[in-house]
Amino acid sequence: MWDTWNKQADRARDWVVNCAAPLWFENGIDWSQGGFYDALDLCSCTNSADRKRLRTATRQIYVFAEASRMGFNKGKAAVEHGLEFLYTKAKSSSGGYLSHFELDCKPQTKEQDTYDLAFVLFSLAHSYRLLKQEREREEALLVLEHLNSQLRHPIAGFLEGAPHREPRRQNPHMHLLEASLAWLPFDETGAFRCFADELVTIFELHFLNASSGSISEYLDDSLARSSDIRDVVEPGHLFEWIWLLEEYRKATGMAHSSLPDTYRFAHLFGKNPKTGMLFGELDSRGHALQSTVRLWPHAEWVRAELALLKHASSKDATPLEQATAALWCFLDAAPTPGLWVERHDGLPDQFILEPAPATSLYHIVGAFAALIDSTTGSGSKSSFNATLQESLL
C-alpha cells in the first residue's frame, strides 16, 4: 500500500516539477508587461485569453511557491514576478486590490471582489513561507484590515465585493478560511486565528445544513437559504470544506462534528456512477443538477480523502484511489504534458477540449502537495492524518 502511494507522490512531484512548472514558467508568465496569462492553448501552449485577472496572479504565486518547495529551481523568480504585479499593478490606491486587467495590465474596472482578496491573503502567506520577507506579513495585515473595515456585511460575514452583489455565496468565506489557515504558522498577533474561528462559526450558522451535511452555495442578503435562490450544492466544495475543517482541527485542536455527515452526503450523492467522476452540481436533497464537471472538484476530492485517511489497508484507501484516478484522467487527456482538459461532459470518456485555465493549476498543485506531504519522510502510515476513515462511511 505505502509503496503504491510513495510512487503516486513521485509521479505527482514529477508532473509538477518537470512538466507543469517549466511549461507555465515559459509560456504562462508575461515577463514583459507583468502578471500571468489566464489560459494556454492545449497544443501550441500560447496565451488564449484576452485579459488578465488578479485571481490568476495570486493562484500562480501559490503554484510556484509550492513548486519551489517540491524542487523547481525557478519558482522563486516566478513568485517575485507575481508579487511585483500585485504591488505595482493590482493594488488600489484606495485600499484593497483590483480584479480585472487588460493584457497590458491596465485596470478594466475599479471593482473589488472579496473572493479575489482571499487569494491575495493566501498568496502572501505562501510568499512569506518561501521568501520570509516582512513586507508580505505587513501587507496581509493591511488586507485583513481592509476586509474588516470596508467589506464586512452588517448582518453576517462579508460582502461579495465593492460594489456588493446578490445572491451571496459561501465560496468567498471558504477561501478566506483557507487564507487564514495558511497564515496561522506565522500569526504573531493572533489576528488570523480569530479570523479563522469567526469563519468556521459562519459556516456552522449559515452554510451547513446540519440535518444532511450538505452545504449551500447561494444565500440571500442575510446569509439565509431562500426559496427565491437556486438550491445548489457542489460536491467539489463539500470535499473542499472537509479538507479545510480538518486542517483547522490540526491547527487548533477543534474538531468539527459535521465532517462525517458532509463526507457521507458527498459520497452518497456526489459521484456519477456512469463515469467515476463527480457531478458538477446537486440540490440539497442530493438530486443531480449538472453532469458536466470541471477538473477542480476532483483535486479537492483527493485532498479530502488524504485528510481523512488513517489505515493502510486497501479497503480504506479505495476512495483515495478513486479520487486520484479521476484527477489523473483530466491530466492524461491533454495532448501536452503539464496541461489538462478542464471539463468532462458527464458521459464516459467525453472530455471537452478547450484552453487550459491557469487557475486550475492551484487545485492540482494543492492536491499533489497534500499527497507528497502525506508520504514525506519514512513513507509510513504514521505520516498520514490520524482520522478514522471507517467511521465516516
Least confident range of 119-123, 324-328, 375-379:
375-379
Residue 389: which of 286, 317, 292 has the closest Cα?
317
Mean pLDDT of all residues in 48-68 = 99
Hey, what's the cell of 104? Answer: 497590458
Q: Give pLDDT, residue 2.
A: 58
- H/E run at residue 346: none
- In this prediction, residue 378 carries a pLDDT of 36
- In this structure, what C-alpha cell is assigned to residue 165? 452583489
Q: What integer pLDDT is reported at residue 309 of this predicted model?
A: 84
- For residues 292 and 344, the answer to whether their CB atoms sit within 8 Å is yes
Q: Name residue, grid cell 497564515.
A: 183
Give the mean model confidence (pLDDT) for residues 160-175.
98
> Is pLDDT at 381 greater than 90 in this prediction?
no
- 296 CB contacts (<8 Å, ≥6 apart)? 236, 360, 363
Mean pLDDT for the chain overall: 94
Say which residues have a Cβ less than 8 Å from residue 226's Cβ, sequence separation at least 6: 219, 220
Tens of pLDDT, residue by residue over 217-244, are: 999 999 999 999 999 999 999 999 999 9
What DSSP string runs through 201-236?
A: HHIIIIIB-TTT--B-SEE-TTS---TTS---B-HH
Residue of higher predicted confidence among 158 and 313: 158
- Domain boundaries along the sequence of the chain: 2-392
DSSP 103: T
Q: Which helix (H) or strand (E) segment is 100 a member of?
A: strand 100-101
Q: What is d(CA 288, CA 59) in angstroms, rounded to the nearest whole number?
A: 30
At 382 the pLDDT is 30
Q: What is the CATH number of domain 2-392?
A: 1.50.10.10
Phi, psi at 95, each rounded to 5°:
105, 150
The model carries a pTM of 0.94
Q: CB under 8 Å to 168, separation ≥6 — which residues?
A: 153, 157, 160, 218, 219, 220, 221, 223
The residue assigned the cell 523547481 is: 72
Q: What are 173-209's pLDDT values in tens digits?
A: 999 999 999 999 999 999 999 999 999 999 999 999 9
**H or E stretch covering 82:** helix 75-85
Q: Cα–chain-centroid distance for residue 370? A: 12
Q: Summarize pLDDT for 311-360 with one digit per residue, the tens.
A: 334 447 899 999 999 999 999 999 999 999 999 999 988 999 999 999 99
pLDDT at 310 (0 to 100): 56
Percentage, residues of the chain above pLDDT 70: 93
What is the average per-residue pLDDT within 300-307? 97
At residue 78, does pLDDT exceed 70?
Answer: yes
Q: What is the pLDDT of residue 376?
A: 79
- Residue partners of 69: CB distance under 8 A and separation at least 6: 75, 130, 369
Least confidently predicted of 121-130, 326-335, 372-381: 372-381
